């Protein structure tokens, strides 16, 4: 089961549960933390892919 199979109704239910658990005051903090985490993950993934590409290019030049 992947996250892509959740769909819109599933996301709405998850958001309502998060709202109930943490309350409306903590929601912006949680959203910000999730956004920063995803941005850092994307940056790290991009760096890994670039390093991998550089290694492949240097191996093909030999």
Residues 4-17, buried b or exposed e (16+ Cβ, 10 A)?
Answer: eeeeeeeeeeeeee
**Residue 18: φ, ψ to 5°:** -65, -40
Judge whether 29 lies within some domain: yes
Q: Which structural domain, as residue segments, surrounds residue 35? A: 24-62
Judge whether 33 lies within some domain: yes
pLDDT at 42: 92
Judge whether 2 lies within some domain: no
Find where tokens 């093909």 sit. 60
Judge whether 42 lies within some domain: yes
Judge whether 61 lies within some domain: yes
Question: How many structural domains does the chain have?
Answer: 1
pLDDT in tens, 1-59: 555 677 888 888 988 898 888 888 888 888 899 899 999 999 998 988 888 777 777 76
pLDDT at 2: 57
Judge whether 9 lies within some domain: no
- Is residue 23 within 8 A of residue 15, CB to CB? The reply is no
Judge whether 18 lies within some domain: no
What is the value of pTM for the model shown?
A: 0.55
């Amino acid at each position: 089961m992947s996250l892509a199979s959740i769909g819109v109704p599933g996301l709405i239910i998850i958001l309502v549960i998060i709202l109930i658990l943490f309350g409306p005051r903590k929601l912006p903090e949680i959203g910000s933390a999730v956004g920063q985490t995803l941005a850092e993950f994307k940056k790290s993934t991009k760096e890994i892919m670039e390093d991998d590409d550089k290694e492949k290019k240097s191996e093909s030049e030999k």
